[in-house]
Amino acid sequence: MADDPQSRFEIVAREDFSDATYLLEVRHPLMARAARPGQFVIVMSHEHGERIPLTIADYDREEGTITLVIQAVGKSTREMQQTCTVGTHLYGMVGPMGMPSPLGKAKKVLCVGGGLGVAPIYPQMKGFKEAGAYVIAVIGFRTKSLVFWQEKFEACCDELILCTDDGSAGVEGRVTTGMELAIAKHPDIDECVAIGPPIMMKGAAEVTRPHGIKTMVSLNPVMIDGTGMCGGCRVKVGDTVKFACVDGPDFDGHKVDFDDLMARLGRFSSQEKAAMKRWSDECRMAKPVSPAGGKE
């Protein structure tokens, strides 16, 4: 294998789901063979780029690719939205990192994904299905135009509940509404896995708590080195402090201190806004690319 890292991180496919959410397929055969549900990678788009942790949304061992679904919310992810096209390369991609999700021996599982959490819940759902579980998927979006992968989910689960905040598709309401419907129909659910924004995962844990359903959540706080040495990703879980990058990213949702997590995630908001403003002012390509509507 060549020493040039760019020869290993070629972007072989891209799909734009909306003006802010896009998919990249990156060729890395060794990583594709090693990846497991729940793990993540850290990517750098160029030599001086930010280290960005991204949960693996899918992997294809035969094709040797890793799939990442990214939301352009800050300077680095917007920059990647413009520059990461088919045929270009990521400067760096490290992984798979984190502990694989413990699929266990659950017979009936509720898999919940909200917003950008819809993508990383897919390998979890697929893993449970391959392990023989009955899988109920609940996925949530703000509106119908933002829905993606619906057919992909339907092909890998036994029941799918689609929720939209405005009711333009599926059930009107947030994923917690869909969860309540699923639990009412299936009081014998053994386990729930929820991935999405912290406020969504907190809400999901509160839905399952009175029913005594084991609930795992995937945490993606501020990560820098991905080895637990920087301490930036520490989270409170019960009476202990854990490091999401090495102890997680999956934790017991009924024990996670979500209020502390959300406060920590807001620590660098002023720096993020300043970086975004500098980039917008300086970049000649500050306007986002138009959604392609399909793979290139």
Summarize pLDDT for 56-69 with one digit per residue, the tens: 888 999 999 999 98
Other CB atoms closer than 10 Å to residue 89's CB: what's the count? 19
d(CA 286, CA 221): 27
Q: Rg (Cα) of the chain, in Å, rounded? A: 19
Question: What is the token pair recorded at 149?
Answer: 């992968």
pLDDT digits (tens, 9 = 90+) for 239-290: 888 877 777 788 899 998 888 887 776 555 555 555 555 556 566 554 555 5
CATH class for the region spanning 5-97:
mainly beta
- With 0-12 / 13-18 / 19 or more C-beta atoms within 10 angstroms meaning exposed / middle / buried, residue 104 is middle
Closest CA to 201 of 281, 114, 139: 114
Torsion over CA: 60, 42, 102, 117 (sign): negative
Q: Are 66 and 32 in contact (CB under 8 A)?
A: yes
On whether the CB atoms of residues 198 and 258 are closer than 8 A, the answer is yes
Cross-strand bridge partners of residue 187:
none
Residue 147 corresponds to which tokens in the numbers above? 């829905």
Q: In CATH terms, is domain 108-218 a member of 3.60.15.10?
A: no
Domain assignments of the chain as residue spans, ordered by start? 5-97, 108-218
Which of 97, 127, 100, 95 is CA-nearest to residue 111?
127
In this prediction the pTM is 0.79
